[in-house]
Amino acid sequence: MNDEQYFRANAFLDGELTHEEHRIAAADPVVMAEVERLRALRDELRDAPPPTARARDAAIAAAMAEFTPAGASETTPEVAPPVPFRPRPAAAKYLAVAAALIAVAGLGIVVSQTDFGGGDDDDAASVADAPLSEAAARPDDEMEETAERTLEALDDEMMAESAPAADADASGTDVAGDVPIGGAADEEDAEGDAPDFGADAGRSERVVVPADFDPDDPILNEISLAIYGSYLLDQIELGELGPTPETVCVGNFDILDTATYVLDGDERDVYIAVNDVEGFVLALDVDTCVELAMGALF
* pTM of model > 0.75: no
Q: How many beta carbons lie within 10 A of that of residue 31, not counting itself?
A: 22
Q: Which helix (H) or strand (E) holds 296?
A: strand 291-296
Terminal alpha carbon distance of the chain: 40
Angle (CA) 163-169-175 rounded to 5° is 65
Helix ranges (DSSP H) in the chain: 3-14, 19-26, 29-47, 53-66, 90-112, 121-129, 140-162, 184-190, 222-238
Concatenated DSSP letters of 243-294: PPPP-S--SSSEEEEEEEEEETTEEEEEEEEEETTTTEEEEEETTT--EEEE
Q: How far apart are CA 200 and CA 81, in angstroms?
A: 49
Q: How far apart are CA 34 and CA 165, in angstroms?
A: 57
Q: How far apart are CA 284 and CA 225, in angstroms?
A: 11
Dihedral-angle region of residue 78 (phi above 0 means left; psi in -120 to 50 means alpha; beta otherwise)? beta
Per-residue pLDDT of the chain (298 residues; tens, 9 = 90+): 788 888 999 999 888 889 999 899 999 999 999 999 998 888 888 777 888 888 888 888 888 888 766 555 555 556 666 666 555 555 555 566 666 666 655 555 544 554 444 445 554 444 444 444 444 445 556 656 666 676 676 667 666 665 554 454 444 444 444 444 444 444 444 444 544 544 455 567 899 999 999 999 999 999 999 999 999 999 999 999 888 888 989 989 999 999 999 988 999 999 999 999 999 999 999 999 999 999 999 9
